[in-house]
Structure 1
Amino acid sequence: MTRVEDVTTTPWFRGVPLDWEAVALGRLASPVKRTNISDAPLLSLYLGEGVVPYKTDRVVHATSEDTSAYQLVLPGDLVMNNQQAWRGSVAVSELRGIISPAYVVCQLSCRLDRRFAGYLFASTGARFPYVNSSRGVGDIQRGLSWPLLKTRKFPVPPIEVQRQLADYLDGETARLDTLIKEQQHLIEMLRERLDAEVDSLLGDPADARSTTIKRVIQPLTRPARPGLGVVTAFRDGVVTLRSNRREGGYTFSDTESGYQEIRPGDLVFHALDGFAGAVGVSDSHGNATPAYHVCEAIAGDDLAYVAALLRYLGRSGFLATQAPNVRQRSVDFRNWSTFGRLPLKLPPVKEQHRVATRIAEQSAKVDRLIRESERFVELSRERRSALITASVTGQIDVRGMV
């Protein structure tokens, strides 16, 4: 047995009660490789969600057609994402099913309460041993080395204390999760309300002229500018630098071969994702992949209106009906000639300005409310994470609390 006081130089052991043990992971969990059971449901491990049924709409977790090498996971197993454990993609499964052989699956020791283990191994503090036991460089290519990881020590209280902590955290995290879900539902409702209002402003305009995209906008050709950030068209119609939203979950090119410059005021349409709303007027200066059509107006039409109309046509399903090549979750408009032939109905420019201004005003109001809700969600998640880490390191005395 290793006493906690002997490892207090490790950051997350500082302040851990002296009657707790410091136990190597290899004594708490053992890797297992079980034979795939053909009738078992397919599972995956998603950051922040734990082990859940496989979701077909998650491209990052595309499954192999041949699942014969997949591992059987049982309730109570510890599952770790080999490359994303350091980000918190670790969970104790509550489900039975099969999972990709790329995951590390372990059977827990009887020294651990299953619920406590779930909190312990997914806590912020646990990321230190995951990072220190990973091979490779950078945020994407981290791979766990079990020979290293199994020697890393974790704080383990007496089993009765584990159960008390799990009871306490079950109640507190459930309360926070409910608040988070309520705010997320509010965000969805606000976005749906805004989309409905925008649709009413764009639908069936009076005195409209029939035309095509290539008569309204034209593509711009600019080489990438070194040193600029990457611009992305998001599905909510915002075109901005990735750094203004999030960096995680993207694959960056080392050479930016074929990238193009985007300037504020450019109309940007994602040729593969525009059908789902990824089109708008850029608010940023940066570079983007050649999958985007970067355009300017030909004859004075309002680009904000045109972008809103294209987004409306995408979300309504019209663009999908016009695509020559439809793939799973994607509609391909990379060919400019094909894209340029799409029909549009545009009202007079004065009416375009009025509608675009109205959309901008309503969007600003909704965006302000959404930012407030997103900030609440962010703070609640931070509170949840801090609460778990404090609990599994003994900073919260739960005796008599539950």
Structure 2
Amino acid sequence: MILDSLELPSTWRRSPVSAHFRRVSRKGFDDKPLLSVYREHGVVPRGFTDDNWNLMPTDLTAYQLVEPGDLAVNKMKAWQGSLGLSQLEGVVSPAYFIYTPISRSFDQRYLNYLIRSRLLAAELARLSDGVRPQQWDLDPKAFERVPLPEPPMKEQRRIADYLDRETTTIDALIEKQQRLRSVLKERRQELVRAHLADVGPQVQLRHLVVRERPMTYGILQAGEHDDGGVPYIGPADISRVGGTPALQDLRRTTVEIAAQYQRSTLRPGDLVASIGPAYGHVMEVSEELDGANLTQDTVRLALDPDRAERRYLMWVLQGAASRDFWNFEITGATFRRLNLGTLARTPVPLPSLNEQREIADHLDRETAKIDALIAKAERFIELAQERRAALITAAVTGQIEIPT
């Protein structure tokens, strides 16, 4: 075990999870929980209500009650940090193990830091079995044998005090950069909105597509991945403005299946728009994707070059006005997704081609400056979060001297 080989200070000892927690299974939750709303460590509090009550399952027999102080452990995602001491009385899904405390050997704050530390996550990843990470399953008996570093109680409290101070400082810096990132993203959005407002008469998107290659979605059933087959693009492959997936990252279907969907074959310069639940992302088809196809959750737009500049239209389709139109059109829908008809009716402000190019050039330049600032803020956040995680792991395992 990773934690077994860790050298601890001489006054510390190791003790297994089972010395401090006992696994329990409590059934009989009467209130209806809301599964679509995340709560800390997967716990949905008792009595929680929401307008989305119709999304709830009718059979809750497999769900478990959780009480304050219980340790909730997601058997599939514990290695990603999905575990912790619950502060709530509520319910969790069958994906969780529930442990009730049976000892008072740990300071709660120290224990919280310990069980969310990077080293414990690495230990749980090692103990999880599965074909790939998304299917890993933690054996509860293996988890119960994990040896936890246990310093004297006085030192636990000193470590917790130290981490409370240090993480509060780091969290404040992270929050400041997150606010800056939000402000920059709003500024970017307003810049795009301002340059697309009242720039020309509005036409529906369908009038900007080449008649010989109408708007269409693609492959309904792609089948198993075929290394030598035809690549296809889905919603997950489409990123923000200017983004394009690498050919080697795309899934492929057989030549025979692709041949049934020649109507949706892609050519360089086409645009692909996502219409699934994460609708509204747009990308341009590159030269290396010539001959590729797309899925039913994406739509091909073969633009008329005499009427529409591709870069300009990408800005329009990813702008706030288009999103507002789509959100209004699908209000009340059970499954929030676009369809060909809604996408085709999207209003597009259409100035002359020269004006479209000028607007696209200006937005490319100005948003690049804002994007650089956003990237800088995100890099700061990433480094601060890395430092926070490393500091916690070092402190709870006795690898650093804690100042008095």
Short-chain TM bin: 0.7 to 0.9
SS in 2 for 1:210: strand
CA shift at 1:271, angstroms? 1.1
Q: CA RMSD in A?
A: 3.9
- Alignment equivalent of 1:308, drawn from 315, 328, 342: 315
State which of 197, 204, 217 in structure 1 corresponds to 2:191. 197
1:241 is paired with a residue whose SS is coil
Name the stretch that deviates more: 149-158 or 182-191. Answer: 149-158
Counterpart CA distance in 2 for 1:299 and 1:315 is: 21
CA distance in structure 2 between the aligned counterparts of 1:165 and 1:294, rounded to whole angstroms: 57
Q: Structure 1: which amino acid aligns with 2:81?
A: G
Partner residue of 1:348 out of 339, 349, 352: 352
Residue 262 of structure 1 deviates from its aligned partner by 6.8
Comparing 219-228 with 348-357, which one deviates more in the overlay? 219-228
Shift of 1:124: 0.8
Whether 1:15 and 2:7 are equivalent positions in the alignment is yes
2:20 aligns with one of 28, 33, 56? 28
Please tell me whether the aligned partners of residues 217 and 295 of structure 2 are also in contact (alpha carbons under 8 angstroms): no
Please name the residue that 1:73 is paired with.
66
Say if 2:302 is the partner of 1:299: no
Q: Which amino acid aligns with 1:368?
A: A
CA distance in 2, matches of 1:160, 1:253: 55
Which whole-Å CA distance do the structure 2 matches of 1:356 and 1:373 have between them? 25
Is the alpha carbon distance of 1:56 and 1:376 closer, same or farther for their aligned partners in structure 2, counting shifts above 3 Å? farther
Residue 161 (structure 1) aligns with: 155
Moved more, 197-206 or 348-357: 197-206
Unaligned runs of 5+ in 2: none
Q: 1:212 to 1:296 in 2, by over 3 A?
A: closer
2:116 maps to 122
Q: Is the Cα contact below 8 Å between 1:44 and 1:100 reproduced in 2?
A: no
Structure 2 counterparts to residues 261-280 of structure 1, below 5 A? 265-273=269-277, 275=279, 277-280=280-283
Distance change (3 Å), C-alpha of 1:320 and 1:164: same
Match of 2:209 in 1: 216
- Cα offset, 1:130, TM superposition: 1.2
Asked whether 1:232 is paired with 2:230, we answer: no
Out of 150, 169, 174, the position equivalent to 1:175 is 169
Match of 1:387 among 379, 387, 391: 391
Task: With the length of structure 2 as denominator, give the TM-score of the two structures.
Answer: 0.79
Matched to 1:295, the amino acid is L
Q: Is the 8 A contact 2:21 2:99 kept in 1?
A: yes
Q: Which runs of 5+ in 1 are unaligned?
A: 1-8
Task: Measure the CA separation in 2 of the matches of 1:210 and 1:64.
Answer: 44
Alpha-carbon distance, 1:82 to partner: 1.3
Q: 1:365 to 1:387 in 2, by over 3 A?
A: same
What letter is aligned with 1:35?
K
Q: Does 1:90 align with 2:83?
A: yes
What residue number does 2:363 align with? 359
Deviation for aligned residue 1:341: 4.3
Q: What do the CA deviations read for 1:133-171 (whole angstroms, capped 9, x no partner)? A: 323221100111112221222221122211211111111
Match of 2:97 among 95, 98, 104: 104
Alpha-carbon offset, residue 95 of structure 1: 2.2
Q: Residue deviations 1:201-238, cap 9 Å, x none?
A: 112223x363442533544889999487976234x545
> Aligned partners of 1:242 and 1:95: how far apart in 2?
45
Amino acid at match of 1:103: Y
Distance in structure 1 (CA, Å) of the matches to 2:58 and 2:288: 41
| Aligned residue pair count | 376
- Cα deviation per residue 1:225-265 (whole Å; 9 max; x = unaligned)? 9487976234x545333999xx9xxxx97969879887775
Give secondary structure in 2 for the equivalent of 1:126: helix
SS at match of 1:240: coil
Distance 2:288 2:73 in 1: 39
Asked if the contact 1:46/1:52 (under 8 Å) is kept, the reply is yes
Contact 2:28–2:65 under 8 Å retained in 1: yes
Determine the C-alpha separation between the residues in 2 that align with 1:261 and 1:370. Answer: 36
The letter for the 1-side match of 2:209 is V
With normalisation by structure 1, the TM-score equals 0.79
Distance 1:187 1:243 in 2: 31
Q: Distance in 1 between matches of 2:287 and 2:82?
A: 32
